[in-house]
Structure 1
């Protein structure tokens, strides 16, 4: 009888330890992008704490993530800072529907817009899209929002395109190789496996934004910044590409548990040197940059961790 009682007690303790574990899921993006591997890297760090079980979900990207975080179907989501701004303030595609419950958790890395085109497409500038098949981005994605904005700033009529494709970004490399499209957009941390894949399979170019237009966009939209995709990151791209960028921001609903938010932020700060080595997009990140480019208020638990670390005063 004593052995049975001890066994039952052990099972109860084991069950209790399982029930105490807090589960965290992070909405990322396509598997060939940067959100997915960086999200996986963050979960790897979080999972060193046996009190948590962190997992990633491949999703359609920024708009999907921000909407589902606020529906509480995701705990956290990677979202471009421009989409965060629009959702929080009720601007752009969220016009008249602000959501003050959205909270920033941490700024992950800078994302720069790449306009990837087949070299034989004849596209050398944004104005060269007449009669071309261009993938602006799947509906509601940050890629679609940003690429459309840039064409509008140039005063370019998108109706002149031969085809306005709505593929997900992970479908684009194969579509470009198969000549189903002439070019596609991807706002991403560089280098990314997506563009590496297509650039090693065929000749491609990156189309830049001229300095004057980039300056105008940055002045008009405070969540953008000018940036350069350096030469040498992708096969055959031996020139720097001027473009605009945003920040990849991890967001949550204001009601997200303090323990989950603390676990994410502390996992990154406490293992920062290791974190920076987990993906090339993180190479230039500093601890100070983790609170830059946030376009919704910090979650109180994240704010507390940054203050404890001396990053916020």
Structure 2
């Protein structure tokens, strides 16, 4: 009888220990966050944008920095930019991505181009620099104002980019719609070639300035950047608060005077299930090795500004880095 009780007690304790192990098995896993993979990936992709924009060259620099710092082979991939990148993250086609802050918000909230298709597996690393909305044309086009775009062939960016939403919202501030222009859906490079060849009249380009494709255009044409008037900028910001006032400085693309416009922010996001440790290492590597980035935009990227205007949840691994540095979002 005693032997049977002992065996029953032993069996019961074995079951309890197995249950406890199953419940607590992840408590000591590296990275520890809910729903995260404890394994360090062997390969990562940074989703960027077109070769004529700013994301691609920055992404190439970031990929080398991350590879060197983490030991994870990391590669920059050219894409259709912001909106496409969000969908690609959802579809597990990349681990890190550039995007505009407004597009990231639309994605997580299931709005506009993400209506009925909310993206729930992205978290922020942080914001990088202003993404200036540049309405690009040439002197010979005769276009000087946003109203002059009526009836003209105007590129609003590649399908899947965030530029289209910016174009639509700026036109809205001027009492116009996409129906008022002959809309073209072209990448930055295609837009520049279209302007050069006379196939289109103007193009919306949302990118950090100087933008490579527009610089290329300025080598052969007298570039004009169409201004967004202060009154219209205020109207736009009132409805869409992720915009800020910005300007394209004098001398950029050989223009003679600064041109007022508006901007959103460029940001980096990651797959939410990347471990805290991996994302901490990515964040630390990028923000502490910006001296290795040759692009002019690197001078505007600062860790102390990275939590400003993020608009979506920050990955715990990135947040750990900012907490260690005492960095908080601006009030």
TM-score when scaled to structure 2? 0.83
Per-residue deviation, residues 80-112 of structure 1 (Å, max 9, x unmatched): 011011111122222354334321112121111
| Counterpart mapping for 1:14-53 below 5 A | 22-49=42-69, 51-53=71-73
**Distance in 2 between the 1:99 and 1:234 partners?**
37
Distance in 1, Cα, partners of 2:93 & 2:135: 32
Pick from 190, 213, 229 the counterpart of residue 210 of structure 1: 229
Label 1:311 to 1:119 Cα distance change in 2 as closer, same or farther (>3 A).
same
Equivalent residue number for residue 221 of structure 1: 240
Contact 1:303 1:312 in 2 (8 A): no
Q: Write out aligned runs for 1:127-166 (5 A).
A: 127-161=147-181, 163-166=182-185
Q: 1:291 to 1:50 in 2, by over 3 A?
A: closer
Cα separation, 2, equivalents of 1:74 and 1:215: 36
**What corresponds to 2:188 in structure 1?**
169
- Cα distance between partner residues in 2 of 1:298 and 1:224: 20
Aligned-pair CA distance for 1:20: 7.5
Which of 283, 292, 296 matches 2:308? 292
Out of 243, 247, 263, the position equivalent to 1:245 is 263
Partner SS, residue 148 of structure 1: helix
Inter-partner Cα distance in structure 1 for 2:275 and 2:220: 45
Query: Compared with structure 1, are the counterparts of its residues 263 and 179 closer, same or farther at alpha carbon in structure 2 (3 Å cutoff)?
Result: same
Aligned-partner Cα distance in 2 for 1:57–1:251: 15
SS of residue in 2 equivalent to 1:296: coil
Equivalent residue number for residue 13 of structure 2: none
CA distance in 2, matches of 1:153, 1:105: 31
Shift of 1:245: 0.7
Contact 2:208/2:297 (8 A) holds in 1: yes
The aligned runs of 1:1-313 (5 Å cut-off) are: 22-49=42-69, 51-161=71-181, 163-235=182-254, 237-272=255-290, 274-275=291-292, 277-312=293-328
1:20–1:166 distance in 2 versus 1, CA, 3 Å:
closer
Partner of 2:28: none
Where does structure 2 lack aligned partners over 5 or more consecutive residues? 1-38
- 1:100 and 1:222 map into 2 onto residues whose CA distance is 22
Q: Cα offset for 1:293?
A: 1.7
1:15 paired residue number: none
Whether the 8 Å CA contact 1:42–1:264 is kept in 2: the answer is: no
Aligned residue number for residue 31 of structure 2: none
Provide the secondary structure at the position in 2 that maps to 1:201: coil
**3-state DSSP of counterpart to 2:93:** coil
